Each structure stands twice: as structure tokens, then as C-alpha cells.
């Protein structure tokens, strides 16, 4: 089963339900604050979903940290934001990176999996 680690704010938790309804396992759900996100590699996710709707600067810091981890290389990161500019400065540092809106999360995760490492 495909594992999706999710960093989202409380009001965005319906995203987790939507992913589970489509058959994805969501073994990690936390708010994008604090330092707990550094443990995400231990759940060996196939995709990481990061909510940038509330605190985009903090979310970008987390994305950079995760992308720099050797065991996370090649694991797609999906950024969720209403603005395409949320990924500014990340596209050259994170590969693969998918940027999506809250209404297109499930399709973005599917796309991310199609470009994931084999």
C-alpha cells in the first residue's frame, strides 16, 4: 500500500480522509510546526504532502530539510497552496516536486507517484 506522510493544519485534515478513501495509507499526520517532521523518513513514505496554506515559510524550511536527507532523495514532495509562488526557490532544490491546490490533492499524489523513484 502506498504511504503518504502528511503535514497539514487541523482544518485541512479532511485531506487525510480523501487520501485514505482513495486507498492510500497515511501513516504520518502532523501539523507543519515543531521538529517532529524530521522523523518522517522513519515511516518510509512514498510521497510527502506539505500544507503551505497557513505558514508557507515554515513549510518551505521543512521541505528543504526533508529533501536534503539522503534517504528521502527521489521521494516526491507535494506542496499544497492556493498560490503557485509557494514553490519559489524550491524547484531547483527538491526533485521531484509537485505543486497543487487543496482541491487537487489526490490527483497530485497520483502524479507524484508516477514520477517517483523506482
Sorted by where each begins, the domain ranges of the chain are: 3-114
> Hey, what's the cell of 114?
508516477
Q: What are the b/e assignments for 66-79, b being 16+ CB within 10 Å?
A: bbeeeebeebbbbb
Going residue by residue through the chain, which has 118 residues, state the pLDDT in tens, using 9 for 90 and above.
899 999 999 999 999 999 999 999 999 999 988 899 999 999 999 999 999 999 888 999 999 999 999 999 899 999 999 887 878 888 888 889 999 999 999 999 999 999 875 4
CATH of domain 3-114: 3.40.50.2300
> What is the DSSP code string of 32-90?
S-SSGGGGGGGG--SEEEEE-SS-HHHHHHHHHHHHTSGGGTT--EEEE-S-GGGGTTT
Predicted TM-score (pTM) of the model is: 0.93
Amino acid at each position: 500500500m502506498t504511504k503518504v506522510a502528511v503535514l497539514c493544519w487541523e482544518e485541512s485534515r479532511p485531506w487525510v480522509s480523501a487520501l485514505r478513501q482513495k486507498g492510500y495509507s497515511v501513516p504520518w499526520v502532523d501539523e507543519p510546526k515543531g521538529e517532529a517532521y524530521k522523523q518522517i523518513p522513519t515511516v518510509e513514505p512514498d510521497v510527502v504532502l506539505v500544507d503551505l496554506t497557513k505558514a508557507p515559510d515554515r513549510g518551505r524550511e521543512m521541505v528543504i530539510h526533508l529533501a536534503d536527507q539522503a534517504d528521502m532523495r527521489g521521494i516526491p514532495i507535494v506542496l499544497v497552496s492556493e498560490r503557485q509562488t509557494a514553490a519559489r526557490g524550491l524547484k531547483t532544490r527538491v526533485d521531484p516536486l509537485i505543486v497543487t491546490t487543496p482541491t487537487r490533492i489526490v490527483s497530485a499524489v497520483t502524479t507524484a507517484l508516477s514520477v517517483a523513484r523506482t
